[in-house]
């Protein structure tokens, strides 16, 4: 397989393959673009079915980080890393050390943060071997302090983005009585669901882990549905908060929701699926715009964290989305296409 020939390669500046026999590390670090600053992006650990799947994922994710940081007006480029393996059974201190040393070899071109399959504790351990990690410092909030975990900011930004999408598509300022299907209720998905519940929304949830479903049912009164059934529910909003490429030829015809707005990365399997959603009258909130809260949080950690400033910055996601929605409506173009144009104007200049 030629990496250069992949459609997802998309002019990446650097792709590094890392391995360590002693720890069993098999990882890929991708730097998509560094025009605006160092490439910052999470480190994902996942039991990929093949090396090709892992390569495609890291390429799509790192490109998304470039666009995400540009849309959020951050002086950062886009990068990502993936580790091939099951984080519940194969993640060890030795593997994390080997990964940290691989990150360190790039001398700051790539800065890692937590992601699916990794945690703040993992990043803190890696920080013993490299300074090029973020999301590790405790942060002040209006109620005290929280950990460096950026997922609360991601969840809040997604909540703000849902409000924007509901305003655009349904003409509603209130979320009271809104019907929302949340796919994936890990750290971000559960926190988002909690905020939606507090705003008066009714919830349907799916996840691959039963303990998370039990928690959502018990604490939020959510209705649990199967992984396949989540797509076809008669709801107002579908909020993907798990893995990518879930909006595709198979799933889009099933969707009854008028709005798709969630925290997952790379939700469109292909760009043409954005057109398919538009043709069906479904408003899509581009993933890298609505889920930018986490990268905003991590950026402010590096520049001096002030809770009020971070909150105001995250809340700009509302205005960013409304600008995209308006341009898409006026120009008759998919929202994802409009978002790409705006982001490229920023990071290519």
pLDDT at 146 (0 to 100): 60
Please state, in angstroms and rounded to a whole number, the distance separating the CA atoms of residues 164 and 12. Answer: 32
Same fold, 7-58+75-133 and 151-347: yes
Is CATH 3.40.50.720 what the domain over 7-58+75-133 is classified as, yes or no? no
Specify which residues 40 forms β-bridges with.
Answer: 78, 111
pLDDT band at 144 (very low <50, low <70, confident <90, very high): low
Question: Residue 279: CB partners within 8 Å, gap ≥ 6?
Answer: none
Residue showing tokens 């890929």: 28
Indicate the range of 23-27, 95-99, 138-142, 195-199 predicted with least confidence. Answer: 138-142
**Is the overall model pTM greater than 0.75, yes or no?**
yes
What are the pLDDT digits (tens) for 228-249? 999 999 999 999 999 888 999 9
Q: Which residues are catalytic?
A: 80
Total length of the chain: 349
Identify which of 294, 174, 169 has the alpha carbon closest to the alpha carbon of residue 236. Answer: 169
What are the pLDDT digits (tens) for 109-123? 999 998 889 998 999
Is CATH 3.10.20.600 what the domain over 151-347 is classified as, yes or no? no
Please state, in angstroms and rounded to a whole number, the distance separating the CA atoms of residues 144 and 152. Answer: 14
The pair of structure tokens assigned to 118 is 């990794």
Evaluate whether 68 touches 114 at the Cβ level (below 8 Å): no
Q: Domain map of the chain by residue range?
A: 7-58+75-133, 151-347
């Amino acid at each position: 397989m030629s990496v250069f020939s992949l459609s997802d390669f998309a002019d990446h500046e650097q792709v590094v393959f890392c391995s360590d026999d002693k720890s069993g590390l098999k990882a890929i670090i991708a730097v998509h673009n560094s025009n605006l600053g160092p490439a910052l992006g999470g480190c994902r650990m996942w039991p990929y079915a093949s090396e090709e799947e892992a390569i495609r994922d890291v390429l799509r994710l790192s490109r998304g980080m470039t666009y995400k940081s540009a849309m959020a007006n951050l002086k950062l480029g886009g990068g990502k890393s993936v580790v091939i393996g099951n984080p519940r059974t194969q993640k060890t201190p030795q593997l994390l050390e080997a990964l940290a040393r691989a990150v360190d070899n790039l001398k700051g071109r790539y800065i890692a943060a937590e992601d699916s399959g990794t945690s703040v504790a993992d990043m803190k351990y890696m920080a013993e071997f490299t300074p090029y990690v973020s999301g590790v410092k405790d942060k002040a909030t209006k109620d005290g302090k929280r950990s460096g975990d950026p997922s609360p900011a991601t969840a809040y930004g997604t909540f703000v983005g849902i409000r924007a999408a509901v305003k655009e598509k349904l003409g509603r300022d209130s979320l009271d009585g809104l019907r929302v299907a949340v796919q994936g209720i890990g750290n971000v998905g559960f926190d988002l669901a909690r905020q939606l519940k507090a705003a008066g929304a009714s919830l349907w949830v799916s996840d691959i882990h039963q303990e998370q479903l039990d928690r959502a049912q018990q604490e939020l009164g959510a209705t649990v549905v199967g992984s396949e059934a989540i797509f076809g529910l008669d709801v107002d909003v579908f909020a993907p908060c798990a893995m990518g490429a879930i909006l595709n030829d198979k799933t889009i015809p099933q969707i009854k929701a008028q709005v798709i707005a969630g925290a997952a990365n790379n939700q469109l399997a292909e760009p043409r699926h954005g057109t398919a959603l538009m043709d069906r009258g479904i408003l899509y909130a581009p993933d890298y715009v609505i889920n930018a809260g986490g990268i905003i949080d991590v950026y402010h950690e590096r520049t001096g964290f002030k809770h009020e400033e971070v909150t105001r910055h995250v809340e700009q996601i509302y205005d960013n989305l409304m600008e995209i929605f308006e341009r898409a409506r006026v120009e008759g173009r998919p929202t994802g296409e409009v978002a790409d144009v705006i982001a490229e104007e920023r990071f290519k200049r």
